């Protein structure tokens, strides 16, 4: 099954058709006097999936009417990518925000709004999320870097840029900087992901990766997530306009297919990612991570890796902190910065004022470096 199929809002229709075919073939072979129960089951499954798919398509259209894209949809490599650029670029660099996982750019809209009084700021949706097209190609780091470069070119955004990336978004920021150093003036990496940890954990029996279950695309295409997500997580998907917008993205199969493809690209091609100390030269870089609290981290990670012993879990936590030190070492001008006490991996939401302060510091550092040059 191609990534286009798993990303499509018509996925349920595509799966329902074989059920219809199997049912009617069974009826034809059985004759009028005997209709085996399996044929009825196949027919019922096909009808339910087709009905769910119709409901889902209607909900998607309603969502798009309620929440039209706030920015521009630009043609990039056979897809449409959404980009919102606001503010005036003066002496400071333009900020490009990249959320974690494979989330829509609006996940960091509160930070985007906070920095606008100072400089130009950009939110965008990677292919396979938000208002951008469903993905027709694997979400490898090479593809996503090339798409982001072409998107900025199509939008006539010339930079220089300071990239602020959270988690998986930090990995995209680093690899963009390595491949297009002339475009990037600085990096702020918020608890960036680590290829080594992903590769190690991916091979553990019983491991649980949030949102990376392939069946979620089919569940979404059948329209089930429109009700399941608000019922299970009302604090995230019910009530406010922001939550309803988040639901509109999370209920679409392309969102899950894009995240699955991006996650699998990390574990399948770990050496395609920048990893060597000094690989970014003397690029200004601040790597932000929560304070080291081994006991709290072990408690947080334990449900996702249930087969690990306490000793193994401790080693995994230490590997995580070693990874953040390695992130800071990617530049000879890199610095490791700890978030305020109590902050976790969700620090863009938990401590937004701190994050904006670090971004402002990076803008000052980039401006000073430019003046000295």
pLDDT for the residue 362: 98
**Mean pLDDT of the region 76-102:** 95
pLDDT for the residue 173: 98
pTM for the predicted model, two decimal places: 0.89
Q: Render pLDDT for 171-218 as a digit per residue (tens, 0 to 9).
A: 999 999 999 999 999 999 999 988 888 887 777 776 665 555 667 777
**Mean pLDDT of the region 314-342:** 92
pLDDT for the residue 208: 62
Q: Render pLDDT for 109-119 as a digit per residue (tens, 0 to 9).
A: 999 999 999 99
With left for phi above 0 and alpha for psi between -120 and 50, is residue 87 left, alpha or beta?
left
Most confident of the ranges 34-43, 85-94, 199-208: 85-94
pLDDT at 2 over 50: no
pLDDT for the residue 325: 93
* Predicted confidence band of residue 370 (pLDDT cuts 50, 70, 90): confident
pLDDT at 293 over 80: no
Higher pLDDT, 332 or 32: 332
Task: Give percent of the chain with pLDDT exceeding 70.
Answer: 87
* Predicted confidence band of residue 6 (pLDDT cuts 50, 70, 90): very low
Right CATH for 73-208+249-372 from 3.40.50.1820, 3.50.30.60, 3.40.1410.10, 3.30.1330.20: 3.40.50.1820
124-133, 247-256, 314-323: lowest mean pLDDT where? Answer: 314-323
pLDDT at 284 over 60: yes
pLDDT at 35 over 60: no
């Amino acid at each position: 099954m191609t990534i286009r199929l798993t990303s499509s809002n018509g996925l349920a229709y595509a799966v329902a058709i074989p059920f219809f075919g199997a049912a009617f073939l069974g009826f034809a072979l059985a004759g009028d006097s005997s209709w085996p129960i399996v044929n009825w089951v196949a027919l019922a499954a096909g009808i339910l999936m087709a009905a769910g798919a119709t409901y889902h398509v209607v909900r998607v259209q309603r969502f798009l009417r309620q929440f039209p894209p706030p920015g521009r949809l630009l043609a990039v490599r056979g897809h449409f990518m959404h980009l919102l650029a606001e503010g005036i670029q003066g002496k400071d660099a333009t900020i490009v925000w990249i959320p974690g996982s494979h989330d829509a750019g609006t996940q960091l809209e509160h930070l985007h709004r906070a920095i606008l009084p100072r400089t130009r700021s950009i939110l965008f949706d990677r292919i396979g999320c938000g208002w951008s097209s469903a993905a027709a190609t694997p979400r490898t780091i090479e593809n996503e870097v090339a798409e982001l470069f072409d998107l900025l070119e199509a939008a006539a955004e010339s930079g220089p840029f300071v990239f602020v990336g959270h988690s998986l978004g930090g990995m995209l920021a680093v690899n963009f900087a390595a491949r297009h150093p002339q475009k990037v003036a600085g990096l702020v990496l918020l608890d960036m992901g680590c290829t080594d940890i992903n590769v190690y954990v991916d091979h553990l029996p019983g491991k649980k990766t949030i949102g990376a279950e392939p069946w979620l695309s089919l569940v979404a295409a059948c329209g089930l997530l429109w009700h399941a997500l608000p019922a299970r997580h009302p604090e995230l998907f019910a009530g406010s306009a922001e939550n309803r917008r988040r639901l509109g993205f999370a209920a679409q199969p392309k969102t899950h297919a894009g995240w699955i493809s991006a996650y699998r690209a990390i574990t399948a091609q770990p050496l395609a990612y920048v990893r060597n100390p000094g690989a970014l030269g003397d690029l200004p870089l601040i790597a932000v991570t929560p304070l080291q609290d081994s006991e709290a981290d072990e408690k947080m990670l334990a449900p996702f890796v249930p087969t690990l012993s306490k000793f193994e879990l401790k080693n995994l936590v230490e590997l995580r902190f070693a990874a953040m030190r390695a992130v800071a070492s990617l530049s000879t001008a890199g610095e490791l910065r700890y978030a305020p006490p109590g902050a976790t991996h969700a620090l863009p939401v938990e401590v937004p004022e701190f994050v904006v302060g670090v971004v402002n510091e990076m803008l000052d550092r980039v401006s000073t470096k430019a003046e000295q040059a």
